[in-house]
Chains A and B, each alone.
Chain A
Amino acid sequence: MTQTHTDYRLSQLDQLEAESIHIFREVAAEFEKPVLMFSGGKDSIVMMRLAEKAFYPAKIPFPVLQVDTGYDFPEVLATRDNWVNRLGVRLIVASVEEAIRDGIVIDDGKTSRNRLQIGTLLNAIEEGGFTAAFGGGRRDEEKARAKERVYSHRDEFGQWDPKMQRPELWSLYNGRLHEGEHMRIFPISNWTELDIWDYIGREGIEIPSIYFSHQRRVFERDGMLLSESEHNPLRSGETVEERTIRFRTVGDLTLTGCVESTASTIDEIIDEVAVARVTERGATRGDDRFSEAAMEDRKKEGYF
């Protein structure tokens, strides 16, 4: 048995963990068909860990859904497979490539894979008949997220209406749905980027290797460092060089930039995050840069 808490003090990280576990259990108890949206990124890995803890020693009582853009980092897919195998959960892969082939989404050559994920995701939710989908969104990430509920209601088109959000009080969540609607659930809403790293460090859990410093052939585009890849044809004037970098976020590799860094351990990453002067999305996500309200617009359409 672990030692007695004589002062009955719970650190903020333990409080966040307790709150998230409460949310996972609440959803598993009240929704017919939940699913966990797993990207392989650090936030969704923390979600997996919390779900593991919430139901232990039972298995996680819902499947895991990944939207495969076709442009995912191989290191991320490897980590995904390790997690899914260790926990013995069912993995559903919704492929953007297949969605394009089946005419579910239209690739006009101008729309990013990130944006094409929306239609692919909504189709997978509808096809699976899922009534609740866990997402790894955090309120510290972005202004529109700062106002989103833990239980975020989506209409039958998968849309989010920021003005019609249900009040959310105490730890009482309202999971009522009509036919065809679903709920997005954000169990780590109150976590910050630093909390995520502290937790990964404390738990000693596996994350994709690209979060740690490594040598990579990269080029600069729109002020971001992107990975050399067959999916990333060079434009005129762009040149590839090898640099010591790491990724702060994980997504579609044509849009996800890296930062120069020598941080090769969790502690070094934490030191780096603690003094970072730019938000992780601002630094490395091309998809959030197009307008001040980019995230709000994508969320209304049904983004994660």
Chain B
Amino acid sequence: MATVKSEQMDLLRFATAGSVDDGKSTLIGRLLLDSKSIFEDQLEAVEATSQSRGYDYTDLALLTDGLRSEREQGITIDVAYRYFATPARKFIIADTPGHVQYTRNMVTGASTADLGLVLVDARQGLTEQSRRHAVILSLLRVPHLVLAVNKMDLVDFDQAVYEKIHAEFTAFATKLNIPDLEVIPISALAGDNVVNRSENMPWYSGPTLMHHLEHVHVASDRDLVDVRFPVQYVVRPKSDEHHDYRGYGGMVAGGVLKPGDEVVVLPSGMTSKIAGIDLFDQEIAEAFPPMSVTVRLEDDVDVSRGDMIARANNAPKPSQDIDAMICWMTNEPLRPRQKLAIKHTTRSARALVKDIQYRLDVNTLHRDQETKELGVNEIGRVQLRTTVPLLCDPYSKNRTTGSFILIDEATGVTVGAGMINSGS
């Protein structure tokens, strides 16, 4: 077996949602198995457990249900991360449960995903659950979506079944923000169109699931135009060798930074030029997302954690009034006048809930303006006022500078995830 060094591969993060009934675990099991990412001892443990429970088949769901409490209940209650690689790519799967009471887990998994994989059972067609998954992936601005029409073997590989689901979903997707959609007929159990092309569906000319995962183009999803560099950490060696060194460590959130570029530091508005960009002991010619680098400026301006480096003619507007979609993640509901801690890029502040405009029904897209609170796993449009200005962009423009988390100040727990519509 030829070894491909992971050094040269690129990376695709994708999120899956669904329940055992959709065949999600079987599909993940198959991807892991066919890419040789399951080890013998893992498979043996799962086979033994399946046997001791009297199953007729090896329950591949046992591979992903990691916590004992989950195994006891036979359900996935949390986000599990799985890894596999093919010669083309390394993949990180955020595997999340699909039921409505676990919306927050799906939101979590989708937050870092380049691609979302939604499963439907060919016999059932589109369900409320599959629509909800598409809505959440679209809200989280996951740029690529795959609808896998599973269990095609149970509908005699009938093209009409596939076409009907395809048409129905495409019509639904026009209401959402899904830049790239692929609908693939598969059988996870038998392996049709997962890794190998199905001989049972000659009418299908599109890619297999694995081929699509390996080749979907994700590099252009990043914003390489609008420079956004949230300052994370000030590097000051204070040693004899590097006496005057002062650099700003951070991860590039947008645009391309080059030495010599004129920049503005927010919120102060001071301008300077980039003197150099360091990556460990190397000076580099440019920095782009998602690199972690250290930026040095020509002038001795006051810059600290929570500030942002941008371009003078292209900078986010500092805003204290934030309009955002919020996914609420804790049992005690979100109500107007509530005060919370907020973390946005490298900036922390406090936020006051001014208004809850509506609650979004993630199954029907209906906007409920009557309810003035958000319960656990609910998503709604909320107005916040923050103690200090946030240096933010709409989430639709930048998933890093457009997102935040809300923290309960008493318990310290993360209770909400926010996607900014606009700031003013």
Contact = CB atoms under 8 A, between A and B. Distances in A.
Contacts of B329: 167
A15 B11 contact: yes
B172 interface: no
A231 interface: no
A11 B80 CA distance: 24
A10 B92 CA distance: 16
Contacts of B10: 9-12, 15
A194 interface: yes
B417 A167 contact: yes
A59 B343 contact: no
B65, B233, B241, B400 pick with most chain A CB within 10 angstroms:
B233
A140 interface: yes
Contacts of B399: 170
Interface in A6-21: 7-19, 21
A23 to B, nearest CB: 9
A26 B290 contact: no
B68 to A, nearest CB: 5
Given A3-B285, A169-B107, A195-B6, A18 B280 contact: no
Contacts of A194: 6, 85
A169 B9 contact: no
A147 B67 contact: yes
Contact of A12 (B6, B65, B245): B6
Contacts of A16: 11
B41 A166 contact: no
B257 to A, nearest CB: 12
B417 A169 contact: yes
Nearest to A267: B3
A143 B92 contact: no
Interface residues of A, number: 76
Contact of B292 (A5, A13, A54, A275): A54
Nearest to A181: B412
A149 to B, nearest CB: 9
A293 interface: yes
Contacts of B242: 57-58
Interface in B332-381: 341, 343-344, 346
A111 interface: no
Interface residues of B, number: 86
A174 B414 contact: yes
Contacts of B222: 8
B292 A18 contact: yes
Given A271-B3, A292-B45, A18 B8 contact: no
B9 A282 contact: no
A202 B6 CA distance: 11
A172 B11 contact: no
A4 B286 contact: yes
A5 B279 CA distance: 14
B400 A170 contact: yes
A138 B384 CA distance: 37
Nearest to B403: A170
A170 B112 contact: yes
A295 to B, nearest CB: 9
Interface in A134-179: 139-140, 142-147, 162-163, 165-172, 174, 176-178
B249 interface: yes
Contacts of B3: 270-271, 274
Contact of A8 (B65, B79, B288): B288
Contacts of A110: none
Contacts of A271: 3
B51 to A, nearest CB: 14
B148 to A, nearest CB: 22
A57 B219 contact: no
Given A29-B346, A174-B412, A276-B39, A296 B78 contact: no
Contacts of B341: 176
Contacts of A229: none
A36 to B, nearest CB: 16
Contact of B7 (A1, A177, A202, A274): A202
B75 interface: no
A91 to B, nearest CB: 20
A192 interface: yes
A159 B217 CA distance: 42
B9, B232, B283, B341 pick with most chain A CB within 10 angstroms:
B232
B39 A177 contact: no
A108 to B, nearest CB: 25
Contacts of A142: 66
B239 interface: yes
7 contacts: A9-B10, A12-B6, A57-B242, A59-B237, A146-B81, A167-B108, A198-B5
Given A58-B242, A174-B412, 8 more contacts: A9-B219, A15-B10, A15-B290, A18-B290, A26-B232, A57-B235, A59-B239, A143-B64
Nearest 8 pairs of A and B residues by beta carbon: A176-B412, A143-B66, A282-B41, A12-B11, A21-B292, A58-B237, A25-B233, A169-B111
